Amino acid sequence: MSTLDFYFDFISPYAYLAALRLPALAAQCGATICYKPILFAALLDAHGTLGPAEVPAKRRYVFLDVMRKAHLLGVPLVPPPSHPFNPLLGLRVVAAAPEAAREAVVGCLFQAAWGRGEGITEAEGVRQHLDAAGFDGASLVAAAHETPAKAVVKANTDGALAAGAFGVPTMCVEGDLFWGFDSLAALEARLRGEGPDVAEALARWEHLPASAVRAKASGAR
């Protein structure tokens, strides 16, 4: 049975869509999902890049793209009260949850943030979402403010960077990375043992020289 590491941040609507699809995909392929909440902003800082919501044209397109994908999937998509928003409380709640409950906690908070357009940045709102889903919301929110939960999110983020992740959602199977909701078909092929052997081509790609270098605008990242 393969282990599928799912690196996600609640700030990403694509991670919301992936979280909806992954349980069934993993079950069909005999894989186990390991839910790893990470801070997307830390990936951006580490790689010196901007997030999609920080580029106005991309921000608008991303929302349209996600709406179209949600429509095709037949799932609700409602924008949260603000975006970007601070996802740390939600991430740490997942880290504080028992491993057996994490899939349900992740689903609960993604549904609140993107399925119903309700905020997950304030402790009282998160508690209410968790209580409504059958969890002890007060205990999970309290645990999210403790050092162990914070350390898990930090360690997951460091692990994602070490694995080569630069965005969310990122799925990892035995060192092979799959980035974005659109990579789920390739991920499924990998889990079924039907993916291409990319080692030789990748080795050649990684040693290709650059013959053109684009000058960065002043202040760009």
Express each pLDDT in 89-130 by its tens digit: 999 999 999 999 999 999 999 999 999 999 999 999 999 999
Q: Which two three-digit tokens encode residue 155?
A: 């360690």
Mean pLDDT of 52-73: 96
Closest C-alpha to 182, from 14, 39, 7, 6: 14
> What pairing do the DSSP bridges indicate for beta strands 2-8 and 170-173?
antiparallel
Whether pLDDT at 218 is above 80: no
Q: Which residues pair with 173 in a beta bridge?
A: 176
pTM higher than 0.85: yes
DSSP per position, 41-52: HHHHHHHT---G
Give tens-digit pLDDT for 167-202.
999 999 999 999 999 999 999 999 999 989 888 888
Q: Quick count: other Cβ atoms within 10 Å of Cβ 4?
A: 22
Whether 213 is covered by a domain: the verdict is no
Is residue 219 very low, low, confident or very high in pLDDT (cuts 50, 70, 90)? very low
Whether 212 is covered by a domain: the verdict is no
**What CATH number is given to the structural domain containing 83?**
3.40.30.10
Whether 36 is covered by a domain: the verdict is yes
Give tens-digit pLDDT for 193-208.
998 988 888 889 989 9
More confident residue, 205 or 68: 68
Tokens 């889990």, residue located: 191
First-to-last CA distance in the chain? Answer: 40
Closest C-alpha to 10, from 87, 97, 116: 87
Q: Where in the sequence is the domain holding 75, given as residue range(s)?
A: 2-206
Whether 14 is covered by a domain: the verdict is yes
Indicate the range of 113-117, 124-128, 132-136, 209-213 predicted with least confidence.
Answer: 209-213
Q: Residue 3: what are its φ and ψ, rounded to 5°?
A: -105, 130
Whether 216 is covered by a domain: the verdict is no
Is residue 50 very low, low, confident or very high in pLDDT (cuts 50, 70, 90)? very high
The amino acid at 218: S
pLDDT of res. 221: 44
Domain total of the chain: 1
The amino acid at 210: A
Mean pLDDT of 116-145: 98
Whether 21 is covered by a domain: the verdict is yes
Listed in sequence order, the residues at least 6 apart from 4 whose beta carbon sits closer than 8 Å to its beta carbon are 22, 26, 31, 32, 33, 34, 171, 172, 173, 187, 191
